[in-house]
Structure 1
Amino acid sequence: MHVRRRIAAALTAGALVAVLAACGSDSDTASDESGDGSGALTLYSGRSENLVAPLIDRLEDTLGFPIEVVYGGTPEITGKLVEEGASSPADVVFSQDAGALGLLDQAGMLEALPASVTDLVPPYYRAADGTWVATSARARVLVYNDEKVQPQDLPTGIDGLLDPKWKGQIGFAPTNASFQAFVTGLRVSRGEDGARQWLEAFKANEPVAFEGNGPLMEGVDSGQVTLGLTNHYYWYGLAEEKGADNLAVQIHYFQAGDPGALVNIAGTAVLATTDQPEQAQQFVAALLSPESQTYFADETSEYPIVSGVETKHDLRPLAEVGTSDIELAELASLEQTQALLQELGFI
């Protein structure tokens, strides 16, 4: 029997938390009563329970110690950690996005990982100071309804989405951490004025907001909208559920160097507040094991970070995905992104 307890991430007031809490995600939040957590590793997870709980159950058995999980959206989890500060009970954070990890690193809240852990991950997919590592990668893509538009007529970059012919026909999930990471990348690549200009023009084209990437995919597949900005793995999940031959929604990749071609990560780090550093490091290392990497590749349709891991899905090789020119460490300015999105009425 698993003794791991799921706890709801309850946020309180505070300026930063108020900004972060205004933004939702696709995460499911659990709410069981908490008991005595003595000896348990406390994990704050911005990855949704339905995606990662089966893996954490396995790791709990493999590692031999209980894992107590606080689930919530990555923005909420990040805000909770910043608010709690040095009094946080968290040992490990599991984030949906590199920007949140960078923010926590800049706040001095992360503990450096040993080289035996960081060396498992290519340099691009880990913090330069060794405080966090990626666990999987996902590509930003444009999905489209192939009954309404043909591939040759699709834009090669995000500026093509500003064409009036797409007015009211583009779906997006503004409260999702991955969309906010895209906007952060846009700010980094084009500056504040350039990002604002694009967002204002995008808003003028009347995009359709969805509560999450799952509903967005359904909206494109049903023809409610023609296009959608999302992550690649949502297509694979829907294809597995309905059968690829039954889908009208398909994937289109933007050209290399375009802000819309961002390859972001899910990642993990040990909190400086931990009083169980050895167990925390063991958990992080376990997320990089061949078994865990295969889980991410097969069950969540993401790109494994550790080399040599196969997947049952026919993913376009990560080396062939047109990544943007943005360094993941530059995605840490989450607060500024959320403030801009709030100012412009996106969230």
Structure 2
Amino acid sequence: MPRTPVRRIAALAAAAALFPALAACGGGSQDGAGGGEAAADELVVYSGRNEKLIAPLIEKLEKSTGVDVQVRYGDSAELAAQILEEGERTKAGLFFSQDAGALGALSDAGALAKLPEKSLGKVDKAFRGSEGDWVGVSGRARVIAYNADDVDADDVPDSVHELTEPEWKGKVGYAPTNASFQAFVTGMRVLEGEDATRTWLKDFKANQPKEYAKNTAVLDAVDSGEVSLGLINHYYWYEKAAEEGEDKVTARIHFLPGGDPGALVNVAGVGVLGSSGQNEAAKKAVDYLLSEEAQAYFAEETKEYPLAAGVSSPVEDLPPLDSLEAPDIDLGRLDSLQETLEMLEDVGMV
């Protein structure tokens, strides 16, 4: 039976309680009082993307659109729960989420406004909400990192299911408390079901993978030879190669074929809050984030995939997005984070 919006809100709020408190940035009051009408050139953004990355882009947005922007930074799940708690009183005009799941929860609750087709049409249907009320602005692929001195490229697993085999016992790094790993597990639940996912998690844990706090630590462990393989997002490797020089990086990455759940392509995306009275300014911001300038910013700064049609990544040797064999999944269904956290806790991973 599908979950009701109320249950989805409760699940998201419960998940949000696991994350740190919000950080506020920008001028004006941040006390959460009242939505209502706002000037056409004013916009409040709740951003699940970090300030270091987004602040320079906000400056570019303001210059390009003439919109005065205030930003509240925090965790995506926590901010989505904040929006749902505030309801029609929310000051947020635009929600900028680190992942699709939080946008899916707001969509299910009816909190997001429909976006113009001219905006939606810039992005492939796979990377936008099925209800037409949110759109991805950058993408990241799950990959397997491997130590090239220890593992031949032809021997790297083509499926996460192979990671439970005896030959990889104690040789795989992962970050169970990281949001991207949890989104991958949620994707597996959607694609393969609860029982199959629980079985994989138990078998994977029994194979004694090594835990790390975040993706960068997993990649560093692969690069140093501490582990042979690691589960990460693609852009961490490209950032490391750009910073250190590819010839100085022993780790390499493998994009999984065949629609494997380990090949999930998740997105950072945006949705306009329907009750905020800031729709005009928010939609200007959406169009700017899908502009060539903003798309190039993500591609260059984070090595993520640009999602707007006609914009290609300048990152050398990055496989084209349309060449990836990602699983066919409605990204909005990644909203069931609480159920994933419960499963991870139950099998002893968090």
Query: In 1, Cα distance between the equivalents of 2:321 and 2:77?
Result: 26
Q: Point out where structure 1 has 5 or more consecutive residues left out of the alignment.
A: 1-13
Q: CA RMSD in A?
A: 2.1
Q: Deviations over 1:101-140 (max 9, x none)?
A: 1111111111111122112222222222210011011111
Percent sequence identity is: 47
Q: Residue type matched to 1:325 in 2?
A: D
Kindly report which structure 2 residues correspond to 1:249-328, keeping only aligned pairs within 5 A, or say none: 249-314=251-316, 315-328=318-331
| Distance in 2 (alpha carbons) for counterparts of 1:32 and 1:272 | 23
**1:112-261 matched pairs, under 5 angstroms:** 112-261=114-263
SS in 1 for 2:193: helix
Taking the aligned partners of 2:89 and 2:24, their CA distance within structure 1 comes to: 22
Code of the aligned partner of 1:66:
D
Match of 1:342 in 2: 345
Using the TM superposition, give the Cα deviation of residue 177 of structure 1 relative to its aligned residue in structure 2, in angstroms.
2.2
Q: Quote the Cα distance in structure 1 between the aligned partners of 2:12 and 2:262.
A: 27
CA drift at 1:141:
0.3
1:17 aligns to 2:13 (yes or no): yes
Q: 1:88 to 1:321 in 2, by over 3 A?
A: same
Contact in 1 for aligned 2:45/2:92 (Cα 8 Å): yes
Rounded to whole Å, the distance in 2 between the matches of 1:303 and 1:15 is 30
Match of 2:334 among 306, 331, 334: 331
Native 8 Å contact 1:20 1:338 kept in 2: no
Change (3 A) 1:110 1:216: same
For normalisation by structure 2, the TM-score amounts to 0.88
Q: Is the 8 A contact 2:139 2:307 kept in 1?
A: yes
Q: What amino acid sits opposite 2:17 in the alignment?
A: A
Residue of structure 2 in register with 1:9 after alignment: none
Do the aligned partners of residues 16 and 137 (structure 1) sit closer, same or farther apart at CA in structure 2, a change above 3 Å counting? closer
Q: What amino acid maps onto 2:324 in structure 1?
A: V
Could you tell me how far 1:15 is from its partner in structure 2?
Answer: 7.0
The answer as to whether partners of 1:96 and 1:177 remain within 8 angstroms in 2 is no
Number of residues of Structure 1 aligned to a counterpart in Structure 2 = 331
Alpha-carbon distance, 1:33 to partner:
7.8
After superposition, the Cα gap between the structure-2 partners of 1:89 and 1:187, relative to the gap in structure 1 and judged at 3 Å, is same
Shift of residue 30 of structure 1? Answer: 4.8
Instruction: Please list the CA deviations of residues 246-280 of structure 1 after superposition, one character each: whole Å capped at 9, or x if unmatched.
Output: 00111111122211111111111001231211001
Per-residue Cα deviation, 1:165-195 (whole angstroms, up to 9, x for no partner): 2222212222222212211111111111111
Please identify, of 179-188 and 319-328, the stretch whose mean Cα deviation from structure 2 is larger.
319-328
Matched to 1:155, the amino acid is P
Tell me the distance in 2 between the aligned counterparts of 1:31 and 1:103: 22
Given residue 112 of structure 2, which amino acid in structure 1 is its aligned partner?
L
The 3-state SS of whatever aligns with 1:80 is helix
Q: 1:10 maps to what in 2?
A: none
CA distance in 1, matches of 2:81, 2:194: 23
Q: Which runs of 4+ in 1 moved over 6 A?
A: none
- The residue aligned with 1:53 is 55
Alpha-carbon distance in structure 1 between the residues aligned to 2:11 and 2:124: 36
Long gaps (5+) in structure 2 = 1-9, 31-37
SS for the counterpart of 1:110 is: coil
CA shift at 1:281, angstroms?
A: 0.7
Q: Alpha carbons of 1:33 and 1:54: their partners in 2 closer, same or farther (altered >3 Å)?
A: closer
Q: 1:211 to 1:83 in 2, by over 3 A?
A: farther
- TM-score (norm. length: structure 1): 0.89
Is contact 1:21-1:79 (8 Å) kept? Answer: no
